[in-house]
Structure 1
């Protein structure tokens, strides 16, 4: 299979300094809104990158569940590989690939565990099937077969058929406190537009353009 000639032009528009507000979260929300309005599949899907104790990077797709000036929120099993790695090294990277809009956003920062109240509030808002799945799956642990997972799910479905599903003690979430943002907009002839926001001690953001 020859991959050399697989390419396309990026011509949906550029990105200029005058287009950027001083607050990168505001601009992220603007782009996210456009991704949702464009009906992109999974517009809140983001790649979450962590590293293990040996410095080996790991990536996986997670759904963003909330964003504001305090950070980016996602939920997970606290026994999962990503949660264990964040317990040892809280540095984290997020990546939003909005390919149909020829855009990417890259965020680096520190992950902090959410409070029990925040976790409970979100868990109780989930569909019951998702609540049961959280109980059934010991995320990242080895299982003998899919049938074992499905059997556990059905057992829990019968157990909680008439009542509420409690929040598992091993389930929680993280808030990513951003330290830098990079906004990437595809450009013609591979002359892409890239801008980096870097946090400063006074709470403001330094903005620089990067070569593509």
Structure 2
């Protein structure tokens, strides 16, 4: 298959500096709400990039579950590869690929564990089967078969047959506190609009980047 000709001409309205909110979280909220309203599949899906002490970056898609002016929160097994790498190197990056709107948002910053209380509040809101799944998934470890996974699920259903499923002590959230947030919007002739927000002691600076 010849893929050299695969391309799409973007026809988005041009972005100006005056159109961008002074605070990147306000700008993200506006774009996120528009992505939800547009019916994009899983608009809270984001690519998370991490790298441990060996310097080898790894990528995976996780789901944004909380965001505010403190940062962007996702949840995982604290024994997973991503969590181990964050333990070695807290510098991470996020990418929201809103391709259906010719937009993407890139975040760079530092990841840190959220409090047990915050994790417990979110865990309690999950469907029961998802709670049980958190207990049985030894994330990133080698699994001999799916049958073993289902056997462990049956065991956990019996173990927690009565009452609420408690928060595992090895599961919880990470908050990514951004140092920079870039908003990208596709334009004709590949002359895309890019605005970079960078954190400083005085607040946020905004710069237009060349495509």
Alignment TM class, shorter chain as reference: over 0.9
Task: Report what 2:147 is aligned to.
Answer: 147
Q: How does 1:1-212 map to 2 (within 5 A)?
A: 1-202=1-202, 204-212=203-211
* Distance in 1, Cα, partners of 2:173 & 2:53: 21
Q: Is the 8 A contact 1:47 1:95 kept in 2?
A: yes
Over the residues paired in the alignment, what is the CA RMSD in angstroms?
0.8
* Distance in 2, Cα, partners of 1:146 & 1:14: 49
* Distance in 1, Cα, partners of 2:87 & 2:52: 10
* Cα displacement (A) at 1:163: 1.7
* TM-score scaled by length of structure 2: 0.98
* Cα displacement (A) at 1:161: 2.1
- In the comparison of the two structures, how many residue pairs are matched? 211
* TM-score scaled by length of structure 1: 0.98
Q: Is the 8 A contact 1:13 1:186 kept in 2?
A: no
* Cα displacement (A) at 1:95: 0.3
* Cα displacement (A) at 1:145: 0.7
Q: Identify unmatched segments of 5+ residues in structure 1.
A: none
* Cα displacement (A) at 1:172: 1.1
Q: Identify unmatched segments of 5+ residues in structure 2.
A: none
For residue 147 of structure 1, give the secondary structure of its aligned residue in structure 2: helix
For residue 132 of structure 2, give the secondary structure of its aligned residue in structure 1: helix
